[in-house]
Structure 1
Amino acid sequence: MAQVSGMMLGRRRFLVGGAALGAAGVAALTGCTSNDDDTAENANVSTGGGDNAAPGKQITIGFSAPAADHGWIGAITTNARAQADVHSDVDLQATEGTNDLSLQISQVETLINDGVDVLVILPHDGKALTEVARKAMDAGIPVINLDRVFDSPLAYRTWIGGDNYGMGVAAGNYIAARLKDNGVTNPVIAEIPGIDSLPLTQERSKGFSDALAAAGLKVGPRVPAEFTVETGERAAANLLQAAPRIDALWNHDDDQGIGVLSAIDAAGRDEFFMVGGAGSKDVMELIKADDGVVKATVTYPPSMASSAINLARLVAQGRTLSDLVENDVPSSITLASATITKDNVDKYLKFGFAS
């Protein structure tokens, strides 16, 4: 289990507290520091620029997200709290993270009744929380929809999130290029997605298959997991047992990747290379070491939570992004998915979140 020992240490660190991944994409909102634990000074925050750096009217931002039972979600909450602390004109009213849909709806209703100025919501299920988000909007409380999108644009003022389709494209392009460079013909390309019923998973898989198809390739064995260590290990074990040969593997999520790599080690398989997803610090350290199957990961930055807090502040104070000509904050912001390899890992390593 040599290649996963460091990742398991990272998993234990997450039980104490999450961390975060840095990203580019919204120049006026980004600016990051390293993170090794769940402290404000180690989260991804921006101090702003231009007129937006100056304090405005005092506002209260309500924040709701799922339970931090996953390294990426832990980083989301860490970043949101740390970014709010940067602004002297922001009071953050954060609910306790939960995966109980009824409880999250109730928590958001409480924030609405408390009269917060603006809401930042990462819904456990976008469809299920659409109605309560619309209730907030109807009450004159702008909603910043973070990552998992609500069913109706009437439920949010601005959406900000990662590029799930682009994430799949990035993984597919990297795999296709590496196989071509290695002279591999008729490759067997495996895929371990997250929860298959989620639109984000479907978008990632569509981007992956489209990118491979453009290179004249196709997805081979595919076994879904559920974004957890345990399901990642189970899915990988089943896939490896069914496929005696694999040339490349894309695992959608670096947190479930802990289990995937455990199964790979247990099976003694190393004839293929693997690409991860999201950009955890643990996976980036494996990429840097370059002595195992992991050769790349494609980012899905939880620093989007920091940007969401900044967007909420600007919307509530009637400001806009400092580099835009328009008077208003955009209604949609999609962050780019970068491909991290041993050639650029040092640029991204300090932004990795703990799995």
Structure 2
Amino acid sequence: MSHSNRWIVKVLAVAMMILVVASGGCRKKDDRPTVALVMKSLANEFFKTMEEGARAHHAEHKDQYNLEVRGIKDETDVTQQIAYVELMMAQGVDAIVIAPADSKALVAVCKKAMDAGIVVVNIDNKFDDEVLRDKKVRIPFVGPDNRKGARLAGVYLATRLNPGDKVAIIEGAPNAYNGIQRKAGFEDAMIGSSMNIAASQTGYWETDKAQPIASALINEHPDLKALLCANDSMALGAVAALRDAGKSDDIYVVGFDNIAAVQRLLKEGRILCTVDQHADKLALYGIQYALDILAGKATPADKETPVDLVTAEML
């Protein structure tokens, strides 16, 4: 390289250093913590509402924190949800607020995040207590008492039935704590009201999976009086099955989540009741709690959030 070319290279290098230093000096360091909201299926209206609530809260509090949002494509894509937690760790977020697709399978990766210094808050679907003990980790749960909510709906249904009437339960995913608790709440109410639980099968939270199950239950039990569904997506499948069977007026449908599509069906009398766990606020409770922990204003502990019965008369 000639002397003149070397001189030009040196000048350019110095100029680049000046630009880098100047830009760094002008840029204000972002001290806001970053919170990642990792949800279940965004195909479920409940989680879309949760996302909208979180984004609205962030829009009003942008000066307090940054927000990252991730959601899987279907309710059972546990592998993808684990990958999202790993991604958030790699991006260096300060807190992860997670509605786990599986109450057991997500514990290990969340412990890994906590070991890396990330605050983890569990919302919506509680982690399995036995797995938490086995992993020697405490992750605070911020969410409703799902058993109590399902029991509210079941007790309301019982006012429309007679002792001994046949009912069936369409459950959530088998490894989801909230699904297990909702089934238990339905059972509490039905057994306590002397109803006959003729069958209980999982619909894995999804409309398309619940519809054929509801159809089979209707055919197997022609004297069935009610279908208690562990979420509203599955209640939509039950409504479709009843419509196809010409039994929309003969069998009650109970849901859980209070999504917009079900509110319309409540008004039409095609769904008897649902349960509102306030999806638009549920993520906010978790995000605010994570921010409080980061700021040293709170120590990790479970916090129960509201759950309410919703009927057509309440809309």
**Cross-structure match for 1:177:** 159
Aligned to 1:342: 312
Seen in structure 2, the aligned counterparts of structure 1 residues 81 and 317 have a Cα distance that, compared at 3 Å, is same
Aligned residues: 275
Question: Match of 2:255, SS?
Answer: strand
1:108-257 aligned within 5 A:
108-150=85-127, 151-152=131-132, 155-179=137-161, 184-257=162-235
Separation of aligned partners in 1, 2:175 and 2:105 = 14
CA distance in 1, matches of 2:200, 2:126: 26
Task: Return closer, same or farther for 1:342/1:268 CA change in 2, 3 Å cut-off.
Answer: same
Q: Which has the higher contact order (CA 8 A, sep 6+)?
A: 1
Q: Name 1:289's counterpart in structure 2.
A: 268
Deviation at 1:197, TM superposition (A): 4.4
Structure 2: how far apart are the matches of 1:275 and 1:104?
A: 29
Matches for 1:102-113 after TM superposition, within 5 Å = 102-113=79-90
Determine if contact 1:162/1:301 at 8 Å carries over to the other structure: no
The code of the aligned residue for 2:222 comes to P
Answer whether contact 2:78 2:101 (CA < 8 A) is retained: yes
Alignment of structure 1 residues 83-94 onto 2, 5 Å:
83-87=57-61, 88-94=63-69
Corresponding residue of 2:253:
274
Q: Cα offset for 1:278? A: 1.2
Q: Distance in 1 between matches of 2:83 and 2:199?
A: 41
Q: Which residue of 1 aligns with 2:303?
A: 333
Structure with greater proportional helix content:
2
Give the aligned partner of residue 310 of structure 1: 288
CA distance in 2, matches of 1:193, 1:102: 22
C-alpha RMSD over aligned residues: 2.4
Q: Say if 1:228 and 1:256, in contact at 8 Å, map to a contact too.
A: yes
Give the distance between the partners of 2:150 and 2:189, measured in 1 at CA. Answer: 8
Query: Which segments of 5 or more consecutive residues in structure 2 lack a partner in the other structure?
Result: 1-30
User: Match for residue 238 of structure 2?
Assistant: 260
* One-letter amino acid matched to 2:259: S
Separation (CA, whole Å) in 2 of partners of 1:218 and 1:275: 16
1:234 Cα deviation from its structure 2 partner: 0.4
Within 1, Cα distance between the matches of 2:190 and 2:145?
A: 18
**Alignment check: 8 A CA contact 2:43 2:73 kept:** no
SS class of match (1:66):
strand
Could you give the per-residue CA deviations for residues 195-238 of structure 1, whole angstroms, max 9, x where no partner exists?
Answer: 34433222211121122222233322334312212112101110
Cα offset for 1:174? 0.9
Distance 1:245 1:89, change over 3 A: same
Q: How far apart, in 1, do the equivalents of 2:157 and 2:71 lie?
A: 40
Summarize the Cα distance change of 1:148–1:268 in structure 2 as closer, same or farther, 3 Å threshold.
Answer: same
Q: CA deviation at 1:304?
A: 0.8
TM-score (norm 2): 0.78
Listed as ranges, the gaps of 5+ residues in structure 1 are: 1-56, 320-327, 346-355
**Distance 1:86-1:97 versus aligned 2 partners, 3 A rule:** farther
> Structure 1 residue runs of 4+, over 6 Å off?
none
Q: Percent identity?
A: 27
